[in-house]
Structure formats: C-alpha cells, structure tokens
Structure 1
Amino acid sequence: MNALGGGVYGYGMPLGNEEAQAETSIWTFGNGGSWTDGSKVTVDTPQNLEAVQFMQKMVQEKATQPNPGASDRTPMLNVFIQGKIAMAVGLPPTVGQIKEKNPDLDYGIAPIPTKSGEPVTLGVADHLMAFKNDGKKQTAIKAFVDYFFSKDVYSEWVKAEGFLPTTKSGAEVLSSNPDLKTFLDTLPSAKFYPSTNTAWSATQGAIQSLVGQVAQGKSPASVLQAVQKKADAAS
C-alpha cells in the first residue's frame, strides 16, 4: 500500500472486531446518521450508507493504513503514536500515552470533521447504578453520589482515570487543561450508542464482525443490510 512521505499512512481506520462500531459511528454520526429512529434500530439508512461508502472509498484510494478491516483500535493507535499514521480518532488517554511512549511526536488535537461542519463526537459511558432500597439506604446512596460528583472530588477522580467529566462543574474545573480543551469543547455534541435498546447488543456485534468487509471490497449496502437483519431479528 502506498504511504505518505516517510512511510506515513494518511488515516488510521480500525475496522477490526475491537471497536469497529466506534469507528463506524464516528463516520455515520458525522454524516447526520443515527442508529435509531424512535424505538427501532436503524442501520440501513441513506445517511449511514453514504458514510460507509465514503469509508470504503478511503480504503480503495489507499488513504488508510494497510488492511483496515483487520485493524483493531489499540494497535492502530500505537502505530499513530509511533508517528507512522498522520491522523486518527483518539481518546484523552491517548495524550498520556504519547507523553509516555513518544514525547517528541509533533501533533495537534482537532474536532472530528463532519459533512455539515456541525460538531459531533462519539460518546461512550459507564453507568453508576444502585438498587432501589429502603429509606435509610436510599439516603446513604444519595449522600455518596452527591459526594462523588461534587466538583473537587469528581474532577480529581476524572484526572486520575484519564476520562472526561459527565458534569458541567467537572468540565469547568478541567477546562484549564490544554490537553483536554478540544475534547471538552465537543463533549456537549456527543452522540451515544442506543445501549438501552434491547436490539443494540446484537447490532453492535454484527457491526463488529461484518463492517470490516467493506475494506475488502464488499458492497456497503449489502453489509448494512446484513447488520440490519441481525438488528431486526433481535428486536
């Protein structure tokens, strides 16, 4: 495969099983697409198809790393950190990994490009949950949650873990960190997986196992139709 000058590939596109749903979501969301319409999981839509067609065009025109259909995100980002990929979608922890593994890397952080120019990014989240209990336990749970998400406590935890805050007060505390500024600026425009939809788990699994085929020349329409079939069966 051709590379830019100095053996550097243009864009890191990880369509392997690890995070294919994340990479695909970035492109579909950036094209105005979505994975749901109300309570229905919608994969095979015009916006999503156009996005996946563009992904395939990137591969066909040799703008990506070799064999993106078998590339997982973690090893791809390691190649980016080594300076062998010019552009990739990264995470806040990627900044720390660069400082650790290749502090001399000359790089910048920018919002994800979109078709309309309107900002959008992929948001993922873990959830802090508690069972419904009697009054005393509920009071204790509320006290813990209030403490944990208080501005100073929560921001310190976020910094230690390398995550982004889910509260406005936490974002205000961390806004002075130049490594996080671009991430924080785009956070309000984040779109999330429809993880509460009972069909999403099967849909995500189908995306992870099937979407890499577009990098091998399979029709994007047929791939999205196959994923949609899995989603419909799980509904």
Structure 2
Amino acid sequence: MGVADWLMAFRQNGHRKEIGKFLDFVYTENNVLDFVTEYDLLPVTTAVEQTMLGDREYKRLWRFLDELESAEFYPADKTSWAEVSKLIKQKIGSTVAKGGDPASVLGQIQREADAMENAGA
C-alpha cells in the first residue's frame, strides 16, 4: 500500500492564470525529478518515469516503476476508508510476525472493511 497526496486548485477568486502557472512550474520535469529524488518517491508524471527508467541511478526503483501503469489508488472516496486505513496500519504487521498468517489477517481486515462499508462508516 502506498501513499497518495493531492494537490488541488480552485477556480474561485480569479487567479486561474496564476494557478496554472504555478502548477506548470510544480510539474516541470526537473522539479518533479528533484522532488522524487530528494524524498525517495515514485514520480507523478510519465516524463519523469521514463527519465528514471533510463537512468541506472534509479535502478532500485525500476520494478516499482514498471508497476505504476497497473497501480490502483486506495478508495479514498469511500467514507469507510479512514477507518479501514487505520485498521490496516494496526494489523498488517502481524502478517509477517513469527507464526503470522497473512491470509487470516487479510481476511479479517476485509471482513471488517466490508462491515464498515455496509454500515455506512
């Protein structure tokens, strides 16, 4: 499971040009590459992904970069997600603990997530 952050801009207050200019700046190839390199993250643009795939400096990330195309975001649009996320963080470590049973732990998380979703949490 990964982390996703959102950068949003709103149309209010008549600053559309300035917002566009800022977003263009943020997402330039050099800025994105500097940011992901500094914080050891995966890129948010295809251009930077391709740059990283062509540079041996990022070889340790190549297998993750190859998976980006089929990656799915977590369901942040579901009202139950905040509680499910907390549940995952609490329980996921027990899957690799001595005697841990990944199938059982993941099944328990799924059942609790389903119950939360059905309850409208």
TM-score scaled by length of structure 2: 0.72
Does the C-alpha gap of structure 1 residues 133 and 215 become closer, same or farther in structure 2, counting only changes over 3 Å? same
- For 2:87 and 2:120, how far apart are their aligned partners in 1? 11
* SS of match in other structure, 2:9: coil
2:9 to 108, 130, 141: 130
1:134-178 Cα deviation digits (max 9, x unpaired): 33x121111011111111222122211211111111112222132
Q: Paired residue for 1:188?
A: 69
Runs of 4+ in 1 over 3 A off after TM superposition: 206-216, 219-222
Which amino acid is 1:229 matched to?
A
Q: Paired residue for 1:79?
A: none
Q: Mapping of 1:109-128 within 5 angstroms?
A: 123-128=2-7
Q: Paired residue for 1:204?
A: 85
2:34 to 149, 156, 163: 156
Which structure 2 segments of 5+ residues have no match?
A: none
Does the C-alpha gap of structure 1 residues 184 and 210 become closer, same or farther in structure 2, counting only changes over 3 Å? closer
- Root-mean-square deviation (CA, aligned residues, Å) is 2.8
Counting strand residues as a fraction of each chain, which structure ranks higher?
A: 1
1:55-82 Cα deviation digits (max 9, x unpaired): xxxxxxxxxxxxxxxxxxxxxxxxxxxx
Q: Paired residue for 1:97?
A: none
Deviation of 1:221 after TM superposition, in Å, equals 9.0
- For 2:111 and 2:25, how far apart are their aligned partners in 1? 47
- For 2:88 and 2:113, how far apart are their aligned partners in 1? 6
Does the C-alpha gap of structure 1 residues 199 and 173 become closer, same or farther in structure 2, counting only changes over 3 Å? same
* SS of match in other structure, 2:60: coil
TM-score scaled by length of structure 1: 0.40
Q: Paired residue for 1:142?
A: 20
Of structures 1 and 2, the one scoring higher in RCO (CA 8 A, sep 6+) is: 1
Does the C-alpha gap of structure 1 residues 160 and 222 become closer, same or farther in structure 2, counting only changes over 3 Å? closer
Which structure 1 segments of 5+ residues have no match?
A: 1-21, 23-122
Identity percentage over the alignment?
A: 28
Deviation of 1:210 after TM superposition, in Å, equals 5.4
Deviation of 1:222 after TM superposition, in Å, equals 7.3
Native 8 Å contact 1:158 1:165 kept in 2: yes
Counting helix residues as a fraction of each chain, which structure ranks higher?
A: 2
* SS of match in other structure, 1:215: coil
Does the C-alpha gap of structure 1 residues 220 and 144 become closer, same or farther in structure 2, counting only changes over 3 Å? closer
Equivalenced residue count is 111
- For 2:105 and 2:35, how far apart are their aligned partners in 1? 42
